[in-house]
Structure 1
Amino acid sequence: MDAKKLYSFALNPWVILGSLALGFAMGTVAPQQAVKLGFLGDIYVDLLKMITLPFMVSAVIFSLQRLFREGGTGQLLGRLAAVFVAFSIAVAVVGAATALIVRPGSNLSSETMATFGQMVGSDLNSSDTAMQLQGADEVKKSVSFTDVLLSLVPANIFSALASGDTLKALVFAMLFGLAVGHVPSRISDGLTYSLETIYHSCQTLVRWLNYPLPLVLFCMSAAQLGKTGIQPLQAMFQFVVAFFIASLIILVVAAVIIWRRSNNSFGQTLDSLRAPFALALATRSSATCMPVMIESLADKLGFARSRVELLVPLATSLLRVGPVVYYVTATLFIAQLYGRDLTAADIALVMGASVLAGFASAGMTGLVTVSLVGMTCAYLGLPFEAAFILFLAVDPICDMLRTLVLVIGNTAAVSLICPRPLKI
């Protein structure tokens, strides 16, 4: 099998899903052995993270420099702002509608409530479980707008790069790229060639790392299920289903948008999204998917590379559609779990708070991302701490969906902002 066929096999959606299914099966049948495989996934994700920041910084600086020389910056930024706002509102509406129709936190069985009680440290008595879930726990302090602004500015760029702070590195790259765009070509050409070399080298490394993807997915899914077991997934089944439905709707709409914006068939469009889809599932890190997102939009779908290379890092860092739909669904699930009736104004408040929490989640992963549900719950006076462990138990699955929605949704957003590719 030559390299091209092997690459195509590694990114085949059925191979990806099959690897996940086999991993889950091993995690269920042999959990102790499965946990030992987790180190392979950790090494793989660390390798991709190693590439992410050099790639992003070089792409943004290089693209902004080229964009200023070509012109059209103001029009591009205007379209970017409009699409970002529209997408944020749209995914929040989808999440709210799904949670209100499916109602995952209502009419739960006594067995499920007993499992909830056990997971939050109560006994198996359902009445005690209800008391635990409805207790007046102390609400976490919400993240203010000032805190969000302060988190954007890097006091020391080398410290931000060393700590892997994607958002601060992005702000530095944007400001530096704007400055480089005003430097005469005879002076800045040397930097341009260096950045282009770094950019293409990082893309090559990511392409190499896609070859062992099925094996990595198998090891990661097996290790994860071996650690948590199947019980948390059973207890939170209705929430996971609701979040899956909302995510699926957004993914389908995003794929249609990309198809309509490009001059390819629907089958060719889906084929171009194979690499971002697979890498999002494997890494659960949107930042590591940026090289393949750019490759899909520029090389396979024909969008202008100068625009794509700038917009993909911006969208990935600032347009947090995956976390937004998660926060809306999770907050409404908690409201239903506590028996709280919400008005239309309350639901609108949840959606607005979820958009803010999504923006605040930039650069965050795992437990920190989940904890921001407390920010949206605080606006309604809902205690989140007792339910926190419930979400943490199923977060590996939810994190896959969040990342997938973010990657494919942002790919659709970039396709709307960029001019349509010319027909060949």
Structure 2
Amino acid sequence: MARNLGIVGDVYVDMLKMIALPFMVSAVIFSLQRLFREGGAGSLLARVGAVFVVFSIVVAALGAATLLVIRPGEDLSVQTRQTFGKIVGNDLNSSDTVMSLQGIDAPAKSVNFADVLVSIVPSNIFAALAGGETLKALVFALMFGFAVGQVPSRIADGLTYSLETIYHACQTLMRWLNYPLPIILLCMSASQMAKTGLGPLQAMAQFVLAFAVASLLALALATLIIWKRSNASLGQTLGALRGPFALALATRSSATCMPIMIEGLVDRLGFARSRVELLVPLSVSLLRVGPVIYYVAATLFIAQLYGRVLGPSELAIVMAASILAGFASAGMTGLLTVSLVGLTCSYLGLPFEAAFILFLAVDPICDMLRTLVLVIGNSAAVSVVCAKPLKI
């Protein structure tokens, strides 16, 4: 019965995704247009770049420090290692033997900066929108928004009003969809527990615990930043973050959280709407703090699992590769997000393929934590870029 409840969550998430892309495109275009009219676009974008770099480095260092202190991959019990072996063996169909006598080995797939750069430019914006490719839609919205900002007001005002109508309509739909959220969260949690059971979670409990500690530390730091930047009380800050927190848990989709993130920062905490409406979609797509922490934690866990001791230079490589993989993860979910751990492991020669199924087994829980850190962390980044509001 619990497994069958999953369809409720699937329909709900699809409805949210239906709203997310039109909301993001309309918000970015008319926010950029308004920014160019007001002036100061260059200084704002320079500050955005600096904040994004600092936040990425901080969360990578936080993830590395947590894993080095807790060390979840060391001193595992015999029973836990046997469970790992069963999970990996079942996934690889170890009872089957396949031998290829002829043919050419498929080249190993790798991700480099050039591939990422090519993949984010949409050759067809309508195909990108139809395929739900968030990063490509963002690139189009940014370029189109810059261009619209150069068009005279008497010509561009008609488009501005249309985009603002779409933006407010999407916000209204999102507000309506927030009402059944507690029921949806219950249905999705019950369905996921029925599918996976407790076995994989028990085997990977130490990794999940370490990643949860790193995520909670990042959430606490982000909440503190928002509290100090907003000039609001701690209770008001927590109240403003309650909606994004619950929606991130329920949907595990950062794109669907954008409207409620904007509502919390603007309506509840008083940040400037013209800045927030531009920066929230930009940060959700480019500042991937949740995946960055995850990639650092997963890579160090695999290193500890195989008894590999990493020096300072290797730790720096892990952090840098995790930031790159985080950027490459824009628009990815589930299996694709987890697979990018192989990018960070490749720099150290670690055998990620053997451990891949272990991370998939607990990814529903890790995905919730990644999305939480991304949503709340990006809200903190936006609050740093924006000017402090007047005291509420």
- CA distance in structure 1 between the aligned counterparts of 2:391 and 2:3, rounded to whole angstroms: 50
Q: Deviations over 1:120-158 (max 9, x none)?
A: 0179xxxx9xxxxxxxxx995321000110011000000
Letter in 1 for 2:131: S
CA distance 1:109–1:122, shift in 2 (3 Å): farther
Partner in structure 2 of residue 46 of structure 1: 14
Aligned residue runs from structure 1 range 9-408, under 5 A: 33-121=1-89, 141-408=109-376
RMSD value, Cα = 1.3
Cα distance, 1:75 vs. partner? Answer: 1.1
Partner in structure 2 of residue 6 of structure 1: none
- CA distance in structure 2 between the aligned counterparts of 1:275 and 1:405, rounded to whole angstroms: 14
Normalised by the size of structure 2, how large is the TM-score? Answer: 0.95
Asked whether the equivalents of residues 377 and 384 of structure 1 are also in contact (C-alpha less than 8 Å), the reply is yes
CA distance 1:78–1:370, shift in 2 (3 Å): same
Q: Aligned residue pairs: how many? A: 379
Normalised by the size of structure 1, how large is the TM-score? Answer: 0.88
Asked whether the equivalents of residues 264 and 301 of structure 1 are also in contact (C-alpha less than 8 Å), the reply is yes
CA distance 1:140–1:323, shift in 2 (3 Å): farther
CA distance 1:46–1:116, shift in 2 (3 Å): same
- CA distance in structure 2 between the aligned counterparts of 1:224 and 1:252, rounded to whole angstroms: 27
Cα distance, 1:292 vs. partner? Answer: 0.4
CA distance 1:347–1:106, shift in 2 (3 Å): same
Partner in structure 2 of residue 418 of structure 1: 386
Asked whether the equivalents of residues 240 and 398 of structure 1 are also in contact (C-alpha less than 8 Å), the reply is yes
Q: Can you give the 5+ residue segments of structure 2 that lack an aligned partner in the other structure? A: 95-105
- CA distance in structure 1 between the aligned counterparts of 2:108 and 2:303, rounded to whole angstroms: 16
Partner in structure 1 of residue 99 of structure 2: none
Q: Deviations over 1:70-101 (max 9, x none)?
A: 00111101110110000000000000000000
- CA distance in structure 2 between the aligned counterparts of 1:141 and 1:356, rounded to whole angstroms: 16
CA distance 1:350–1:190, shift in 2 (3 Å): same
- After TM superposition, the runs of 4+ consecutive aligned structure 1 residues lying more than 4 A away are none
- CA distance in structure 1 between the aligned counterparts of 2:108 and 2:273, rounded to whole angstroms: 43
Asked whether the equivalents of residues 141 and 375 of structure 1 are also in contact (C-alpha less than 8 Å), the reply is no
Letter in 2 for 1:151: S
The alignment-based identity, stated in percent, is 74
Cα distance, 1:341 vs. partner? Answer: 1.1
3-state SS in 2 of match to 1:36: helix
3-state SS in 2 of match to 1:155: coil
- CA distance in structure 2 between the aligned counterparts of 1:289 and 1:232, rounded to whole angstroms: 29
- CA distance in structure 2 between the aligned counterparts of 1:221 and 1:373, rounded to whole angstroms: 25
Letter in 2 for 1:75: S
Partner in structure 2 of residue 9 of structure 1: none
